[in-house]
Chains A and B, each alone.
Chain A
Amino acid sequence: MKKTLKIAFPMTIPVMLGYISVGIPFGLLVIKSGLSIWVAIGMSVFVYAGAMQFVAIGLLLNPVGLVQVGLMTLFVNIRHLFYGLSFIELFKTFGPKKQYMIFALTDETYSLLCGLAIQNEISKESLFFAISLLNQIYWITGTIIGVFLGTLITFNTAGIDFALTALFIVIFIEQWLAFKTHIPALLGLAASAISLVLFGEGSLIIPSMALMLIGLLFLKPLIIKGEGADQ
């Protein structure tokens, strides 16, 4: 266990910075909105979905029907529909840990685990589990700091949330270097840039995912050829 944590912890430091720095404003915002401490902590423990939890604050303040809450959650998190695809085979051997691994498959955890799969490092169950658990602990820790101590922070934290963008850039570069073909990476950038321009920031996710899937479908021969894969 100690050995696993020793390997897992350094890998999760970027997520720690990102999650704590986004968890703090989340906790602060919940309290400032007049919602209880337990709403903030409860969401970080049981929902565990960054962007959605910010959206949730608005939904909880102006109560709407549960169907609407469910649909909103589906839309904000629908990109997660894809994440499991990369781990279907891998998680088969995870036993009881599998359900937690699935529950905890956030953007950042997915990024880290993908990086591991690609680097062909030892894909030990305990290492993956430790990474997932550490990440949620950071998220909850950030939330708790935001709830209790956020107001005491004296330095100007403006811009600290860039840590998440930086994390995505780093993983993007690692992915870029791991593939021979760069079509999928460029496709992701292009699909979402086009969607952002056409549909605006409010409804960016669905069209970019659709464009990405269409692109992957139509460019399949080029991608397979570029990667030199035998498929």
Chain B
Amino acid sequence: MIWASIITMALVTYFVRLAPFVLFGGSVQTPKWVEYAGKYLPPSVMGMLIVYSIKGVDFLALKASLPVALAMGLTGLLHLWKRNNLLSILGGTAIYMIMIQMIFN
């Protein structure tokens, strides 16, 4: 039963990822609206993923939300300053870990 469930998850996950290629791929010319969505969805989805990745944070509890907000702001500033992905991510994560382990614990 466990493996049947895992195989089901694997197939559904793959088919979800495959769907746009089957529906709009092949020799069919990609419709204009799909091109439009393909161009402008990525920045939207990235905004969504930011919210999605912090959805578990209780924003009414300052002790939880303040370090997240600060670390997010600092990550953004660090990136605008140096435009170095690794530095921004390492720096932002380190700042967050220090805050929740030493300051907001």
Interface positions of A (Cβ within 8 A of B): 10-11, 13-14, 17-18, 35, 39, 42-43, 46-49, 52, 56, 59-60, 63, 66, 69-70, 73-74, 77-86, 88-89, 91-92, 98, 102-103, 105, 107, 110-111, 114, 118, 156-160, 162-173, 175-176, 179, 182, 184-193, 196, 201, 204-205, 208-209, 212-213, 215-216, 220, 223, 231
Q: Which one of A39, A77, A98 contacts B16 once the chains associate, using CB atoms below 8 Å? A: A77
**Contact A88–B44 (Cβ < 8 Å):** no
**Contact A166–B101 (Cβ < 8 Å):** no
Chain B interface residue count: which class? 35 or more
CB neighbours (8 Å) of B14 from chain A are 102-103
Rounded to whole angstroms, the CA-CA distance of A207 and B7 in the bound complex is 28
Rounded to whole angstroms, the CA-CA distance of A63 and B32 in the bound complex is 43
Jot down 11 A-B pairs with beta carbons below 8 A, ordered by A: A17-B86, A48-B13, A66-B5, A81-B20, A84-B18, A85-B34, A85-B37, A88-B20, A190-B47, A212-B48, A231-B36
Q: Is B65 an interface residue (CB 8 A)?
A: no
- Across the A-B interface, the 7 shortest Cβ-Cβ residue pairs: A188-B47, A188-B44, A84-B20, A192-B51, A166-B92, A189-B47, A85-B38
**Contact A188–B92 (Cβ < 8 Å):** no
